[in-house]
Amino acid sequence: MRLSINECIDQRLRFLFPEHDCQTAGFAKLAGLKNGRLLDAAEAAGFDVLITVQNLSGRMISIPILCAQTNRLHELAPLAPSAALALASITPRQVVTIK
């Protein structure tokens, strides 16, 4: 599965999904894009999932929303196992909240 990590998230989070093609927004040349433009570009680039801390429902791309107090790695890392489980069954257009 192709995953894009939103640029507001610590890029080291990508290492916690080694079984997937996981790229940061910067690496995928999506940095600086906001809201709908980011989602359009991620979909056009062939990403299946955008990992973010923002609610972006209503799109074709699947979205696991990581719910932590901040976007720092030490707060997001504990959510990675639950996110990995969600990725195993996520469907197109599905928004999954990971707490």
Across 6-11, average pLDDT? 91
Number of H helices, E strands in the chain: 3, 5
Q: Residue 58: pLDDT band by 50, 70, 90 thresholds?
A: confident
The residue assigned the tokens 């890029």 is: 11
- When pLDDT is averaged across residues 52-81 and rounded to a whole number, the result is 90
Read off the tokens for 4: 């894009």
- Tell me the whole-structure pTM to 2 decimals: 0.75
Determine the length of the chain: 99
pLDDT at 28 over 80: yes
pLDDT at residue 34 greater than cutoff 90:
no
Distances (CA, A) of 22 to 5, 26, 49, 60, 69: 7, 12, 9, 18, 23
What is the C-alpha end-to-end distance of the chain, expressed in Å?
A: 22
Give the integer Cα–Cα distance in Å for 56 and 20.
22
How far is 34 from 12, CA to CA, in rounded Å? 21
